[in-house]
Amino acid sequence: MTQFPREFHIGPVPIRPATVLAPMAGVTDTVFRRLIRDQGGCGLLMTEFTSSHGVVANAQRSNTAKLMRYLYFDPEEHPITAQLFGADPDIMADAARVCQDLGYDAVDINFGCPVKKVVRCNGGSGMLRNLPLVEELLRKVRAAITIPLTMKFRAGWNDHELVHVRMANLAEDCGLQAIALHPRTREQGYSGRADWTRIAEVKAAVKIPVIGNGDIVTPQDAVRMVAETGCDAVMIGRTASSNPWIFREIADYVATGSYRTPSEQDRYELMKTYYGMLADRDDPEAVGKMKQFATYFTHGVRDGSKLRQLIYHAKEAVEIQDLVDSFFHHELAETAA
C-alpha cells in the first residue's frame, strides 16, 4: 500500500480522500463537477473562479439566473467550495456571504490566476504584489462568514519576488483553515516546471493544511508530491480535464499499487455521459461546451483528431451526440475485429 493521506480537514469539514479538483474557468461547472464525482476518488470539488463583483451585483439585483450561472450546484456535489476573485475587501466579504447563504461548504479566494485581464484589475496573482491589501481582504472575509475560508495562490510575481511563505503565514494569522499553493510564479504562467520545494517550504511554515498543486499527471506524481513536500492533500486541474479518471486512478494506486488506464469503451462512455448531461440541461451553450470538451476528451483516442473535426463543424447537440456514437461504434468494432 502506497503512503498517501486518507483524509484531511478544512475546519470542521472532512475531505475524503485527500484530493481536490482545482477551480478552472470554463471547465469546472456543475456538469463537469458531477462527472468527476461520478468517476469516484475526488474528495473536494471547486467551482469555476467567479467574480466577487459579479456575485454581489447579481445578488443585489435579485438576478438569480445570472448569479446561479456560476454558483449553481447539486446536493450530490458536497463537499464543495466556491472560489472567488477580486481586489475589493468589502465586495469580497459580501460575495462570501452570498456563497455561505447558498450552502457552500467553504469559500476560497483566488490569488493565483495569471490572466492579464484579471491581473490588470489587481485580482488573482496581481494581489501578490500588495500583501497589505491581501491581509485586509482576508480579515474582512474571515469576519463576514462562519464557514471555512481558504485560499489558492502562486509562489510570487516572478522568481525575484517570491512571497509564498509570507502569504502562507498571513493566511494562518488571518484565520484561514487551509491553503493551496501552485508553486509557479505569475510570470511563468503554465510554462516551465512547478517547483515543489516551495510547497515543502510552505508546509514547514504553517500548521494549517497545505494542498499541493502543479504538474500532477499520473497517480505516481500525486504520491511523489506528498512524499517530497509533506503536503496534506493534492489538487489537480488541467490533467483532470483530459483524464477525469485521475482521482479514481490515484485512489486505486494508493490502495493496491496499480491502476487501470481508461479503454476506448471508457472514453466513449465518458463522452456519451457528459454530452448527455449537457443536452439534458437544455443549456444554450451546450454545443460550445461539447466542442470545447471534444479537445479534452479525445486525448488518447485513436484517430481522435477526426472526431474533433467532425464535432467542430457540427451545429446541433443531437448531431454531435450522433457523431460520437457513430465514431466509437466504428472504432470499437474495428478494435474487436
Q: What's the pLDDT band for 318 if we cut at 50, 70, 90?
A: very high
> What's the pLDDT tens digit per position in 2-20?
689 999 999 999 999 999 9
Question: Does residue 250 contact residue 243 with C-beta atoms inside 8 Å?
Answer: no
Distance CA 137, CA 132 (A): 9
Nearest to 168 by CA among 119, 124, 128, 215: 128
Mean pLDDT of the chain, nearest integer: 93
Residue 1 reports pLDDT greater than 70? no
Give the pLDDT confidence of 120-166 residue by residue, as tens digits: 666 777 889 899 999 999 999 999 999 999 999 999 988 899 999 99
CA pseudo-torsion sign 252, 258, 263, 265: negative
SS (H, E, C) 105-121: CEEEEEECCCCHHHHCC
* pTM reported for the whole predicted model: 0.94
Active-site residues: which are they? 113
Whole-number Å distance between alpha carbons of 103 and 50: 16
Tell me the H-state helices in the chain. 30-39, 52-60, 64-71, 89-102, 116-119, 131-144, 164-173, 197-205, 219-229, 238-242, 246-256, 264-280, 286-297, 304-312, 317-336
Residue at grid coordinates 455521459: 273
